Amino acid sequence: MRPGLVLLVFVGGGVGSVARYLLATTVQRNAPEGFPFGTLLVNLIGCFAVGVVGALGLERAALSPEARTFLMVGILGGFTTFSSFAWETLGLLSVKDVLRAGLYVGGSVVLGLLGTVLGRAIGRVGA
């Protein structure tokens, strides 16, 4: 593990997290209540951005591995992990591994929701 890459991920993650917070809260404050428009917008922007950065870095070699790590793992990882989920799903679909892609999508959504329910229940114990 290269310390320089870890630092890039650390700094990028901070930038992405702050950007997520500012964008999501600004959008949500100005949107109708009852739906997480801010989070949806963050996830959609993150998915678009990971597609662009992934193509530039991996398919066109227009970005160095360090720049790709800073942008994809750092900034976009801090901005939204949904973008990583979408990129990995696209990778499975691009090699026509529809079964694994379906299991990954279904498992991530269903098990993620169940994990959230379980975590919430545990967090409420004694409250």
- The segments of the chain whose pLDDT lies below 50 read none
What is this structure's pTM? 0.78
Instruction: State the pLDDT at residue 127.
Output: 65
46 and 102 belong to one structural domain:
no
Domains in the chain, number: 2
Instruction: State the pLDDT at residue 124.
Output: 84
52 and 76 belong to one structural domain:
yes
User: Residue 90's closest CA among 122, 124, 58, 62?
Assistant: 58
Instruction: State the pLDDT at residue 10.
Output: 97
The two tokens of residue 30 are 């100005």
d(CA 22, CA 80): 13
86 and 45 belong to one structural domain:
yes
104 and 87 belong to one structural domain:
no
